[in-house]
Amino acid sequence: MPGRRQRGRRQETLAREVAHRLDLPLIHLDRHFWQPGWVPTDEARWRATVAGLAARPAWVMDGNYGGSLDLRLPRADLLVFCDLPLARRPARAGPMIPVRFG
């Protein structure tokens, strides 16, 4: 994704490691949100996509899409929120990785 900061790579690495250790499928929300040419998915289609992804029996989900938390959090068994020291925080909030166990 253009302009992706270091935070994104760390978040992705953490999600990949959690999924590997728990033997769960990893869902990268960016891969579902961005259409060819970096066109964002419209809101209605995005919410339907996220609802379908969250309905799967087990997963680790990587992404910061606050507009879909109401669809993801009720299905998550665990939320990983990285609260970095102020000096290491990026301009935006730290990564959140919901995890759904089967």
Report pLDDT digits (tens) over 17-72: 999 999 999 999 999 999 999 999 999 999 999 999 999 999 999 988 888 999 99
Q: What pLDDT, on the 0 to 100 scale, is given for residue 28? A: 93
Residue 102 falls inside a structural domain: no
Residue 93 falls inside a structural domain: no
What amino acid occupies position 99?
V
Which segments of the chain does DSSP mark as H helices, in order? 6-22, 29-33, 43-54, 69-72
User: Which two structure tokens, joined as six digits, stand for 63?
Assistant: 């992404």
Residue 89 falls inside a structural domain: no
37: alpha, beta or left? (left if phi > 0; alpha if psi -120 to 50): left
Give residue 66's domain range: 6-83
CA atoms within 13 A on the CB side of 44: 0
- Kindly report the pTM of this predicted structure: 0.72
CA distance 61 to 43: 19
